[in-house]
Amino acid sequence: MADFYELLGVPPSATEDEIKRAYRKLARELHPDASGGDPHSEERFKEVTVAYETLRDPERRRRYDMFGPEAASAGASGFDAGPFAGGLGDLFEGFFGGGFGSPFGGGGRGGRPRSRQGPDMEVALDLTFEEAVFGAQREVRLRQPVACATCQGTGARPGTTPVTCSECQGSGEVHRVRRSILGQMVSSSPCPRCGATGEEIASPCNDCRGEGRVTEERAYTVEVPAGVDDGSTLRLTGRGAAGARGGGYGDLYVHLRVAAHERFQRHGQDLVDVLHLPVTQATLGAHLRYETLEGTEDLVVPAGTQSGRVFRLRGRGVPSLDGRGRGDLLVQVMVDTPTHLSAEQEELLRRFAAARGDEVAPADTRLFAKIRSAFK
């Protein structure tokens, strides 16, 4: 299937209005009533309509941009959870590695012929921790071969058209016949004259020297879904390199690199944080304002909380990629032993120890130790 943007003749950055206008114009030209029943026009009308139906819907367009036509046509409720069973790092494998049946069809690579299509390209995209958790709209820029605007990718100088290759008569292959005792042996190989395209260019386009493509910088919007992880890969269908002489576009693979967070660590869909508590709060209990990734929450620390205890804030973790639910935020308590006590604090703590009957080191030993270290 051709690229939906190309079918409609709009750039991938086109607004909804531009897409609608482009479709109306094409529909007027190609509609069976207007084209007099020309079967080619009818076929194109169908293709253009499929493209429009996908791109007019923001959600389906987003999915088409990310994962290609198969994902855009798969039900409106989002992705199947199945491919993610192996973990978030398998996003790429799950979607494109083949080997699973639904919902994108066998192999997942779409039905476009690969022979003359341009190569796939790769680009890295750095995300903050929060962008990976909550999703983001980001732009990637790269220099890539694109169809030559001067010759519309044909490679032929404007006003001229490529002609059928004189050596292979347009088949793109040459056959060699040898006689042997068993009869005639026929072998075929790619036509060297036309590079297997079946066409020859008599007067090449000046801008692309007959190749039908030129290198340009392009920018694409990447819709990063909430819940991606470091090492995930997104595919932008048809945003790779242009093939020679109108050969169609490869795909663009966007490799995601997610920065670490200074407090939160990620364990699958759960977030883990360590909360330091003074011994007083851990002992007597406290009502704290606790900073999550998305704002502050009340955290009730019960009296007698031990070091190592884990509070679970349900649904405050990482969303699952299929949009169903979120992980939890696990807050692990670390009780800090007080240091650098004032004379008054030390006096209170000694009385506390005496009241409990706890045997502690006498005060003067510590004093002597302090004096010794001061004269070192």
Nearest Cα to 73, choosing from 64, 82, 84?
A: 64
Q: What is the DSSP letter of 104?
A: S
244 binds Zn ion (CB under 5 A): no
Q: What is the DSSP letter of 300?
A: E
- Name the residue nearer to Zn ion (CB basis): 133 or 165: 165
Q: Which one of 72, 127, 133, 151 is in contact with Zn ion (CB under 5 A)?
A: 151
> To the nearest whole angstrom, how small is the minimum distance from the Cβ of residue 205 to Zn ion?
3
Q: Which one of 48, 147, 191, 241 is in contact with Zn ion (CB under 5 A)?
A: 191
Integer Cα distance of 187 and 241 in angstroms? 32
Between 277 and 306, how does the x/- string for binding to Zn ion read (CB under 5 A)?
A: ------------------------------
State the residue for tokens 């109108």: 246
Q: Which one of 35, 41, 150, 283 is in contact with Zn ion (CB under 5 A)?
A: 150
156 binds Zn ion (CB under 5 A): no
241 binds Zn ion (CB under 5 A): no
Let me know: does 315 contact 328? Beta carbons within 8 Å: yes
DSSP H stretches of helix in the chain: 4-8, 16-30, 32-35, 39-55, 58-67, 69-73, 91-96, 129-134, 279-284, 343-356, 363-375
- Name the residue nearer to Zn ion (CB basis): 191 or 236: 191
Q: Which one of 71, 194, 234, 318 is in contact with Zn ion (CB under 5 A)?
A: 194
Pick the piece of the chain touching Zn ion (CB under 5 A) from 80-88, 122-130, 143-151, 333-341: 143-151
Q: Which one of 19, 51, 168, 275 is in contact with Zn ion (CB under 5 A)?
A: 168
Give the tokens for residue 322: 């299929």
User: Does residue 103 have a cis peptide bond before it, meaning omega lies within 30 degrees of 0?
Assistant: yes
Chain centroid to Cα 232, Å, comes to 7
Spatial CB neighbours of 167, under 8 Å, sequence gap ≥ 6: 174, 191, 192, 193, 194
Pick the piece of the chain touching Zn ion (CB under 5 A) from 28-36, 157-165, 248-256, 262-270: 157-165
270 binds Zn ion (CB under 5 A): no
Helix 39-55 to helix 58-67 angle (10° resolution) is: 100
> To the nearest whole angstrom, how small is the minimum distance from the Cβ of residue 237 to Zn ion?
24
Pick the piece of the chain touching Zn ion (CB under 5 A) from 82-90, 198-206, 266-274, 301-309: 198-206
Q: For the chain, how far is it from start to end, CA to CA, in angstroms?
A: 80
147 binds Zn ion (CB under 5 A): no
Integer Cα distance of 194 and 216 in angstroms? 25
- Name the residue nearer to Zn ion (CB basis): 55 or 148: 148
Neighbouring-strand partners of residue 233: 255
> Considering only residues 205-234, where is the footprint of Zn ion by CB under 5 A?
205, 207-208
Nearest Cα to 127, choosing from 312, 37, 257?
A: 257
Task: Quote the Cα angle for 215-66-323, to 5°.
Answer: 160
- Name the residue nearer to Zn ion (CB basis): 200 or 273: 200
Size of the site for Zn ion (CB under 5 A): 12
Pick the piece of the chain touching Zn ion (CB under 5 A) from 35-43, 193-201, 299-307, 324-332: 193-201
> To the nearest whole angstrom, how small is the minimum distance from the Cβ of residue 206 to Zn ion?
7
Q: Which one of 25, 28, 193, 267 is in contact with Zn ion (CB under 5 A)?
A: 193
By CB under 5 A, name the binding residues for Zn ion.
148, 150-151, 165, 167-168, 191, 193-194, 205, 207-208
